[in-house]
Amino acid sequence: MKALEELVGLLTRLPGIGRKSALRVAYHLLKTDQAYAEALAERIRGLKSAIRFCSVCGSYAESDPCPVCASPARDRSTICVVEQPQDVVTIEGAHEYRGLYHVLGGLISPLDGVGPEQLRVDALVARLRGGEVREVVIATNPTVEGDTTALYLKRLLEPTGAQVTRLATGIPVGGDLEYADRLTLARSFRGRVRL
């Protein structure tokens, strides 16, 4: 069936959806009401035009500047640096951080030919020029690229006078020593804190 196969082919290009999941979704669509299919199609079509990038921090937003950058309630002395726009949504979900954000749009990765000039690094430096920012929290993932980027930013930003920090790496809450990998365990030792 051509219509089914075409839909399945498009669905399998989405992340985390293989052929079996795509078939399940397609069969589900065949069984549910057409109003749902129309609504889903409309949201998929309209998503990109409804959501832009904030010109200040670079995260996804429906307005520019985004609600975080525009809010008088946020702490303007702290900027959290993340890799991608969705990281902002993830961190906001934890309800812990009250400062501003800056999205790099990627990580430094010489193997993939990505250097600082491909990222929103200049814009970050420009935001620090006013002298209002006293701390930059680097929240890149604890991977080779995330570490490289963090180290690069530390060297670049420290001369501005702002303190550069990084999110703690270690055993996750509720985790088990037995199941922690060697690298995580080593990092949790190096980063141990006084009780």
User: Using CB under 8 A as the criterion, which residues of the chain lie in contact with a second copy when the complex forms?
Assistant: 1-4, 6-7, 10-11, 13-17, 21, 23-30, 34, 36-48, 50-51, 60-62, 84-86, 89
Minimum gap (Å) between residue 191 Cβ and a second copy: 27
Minimum gap (Å) between residue 30 Cβ and a second copy: 6
Minimum gap (Å) between residue 60 Cβ and a second copy: 6
Residue with Cβ nearer a second copy (54 or 80): 54
Residue with Cβ nearer a second copy (7 or 156): 7
**How does 165-174 read in b/e, with b if 16+ C-beta sit within 10 Å?**
ebbebbeeee
Work out the angle at residue 46's Cα, subtended by the Cα atoms of residues 40 and 48, and round it to the nearest 5 degrees: 125
Residue with Cβ nearer a second copy (15 or 159): 15
Minimum gap (Å) between residue 120 Cβ and a second copy: 16
Residue with Cβ nearer a second copy (4 or 180): 4
Residue with Cβ nearer a second copy (86 or 163): 86
Minimum gap (Å) between residue 108 Cβ and a second copy: 19
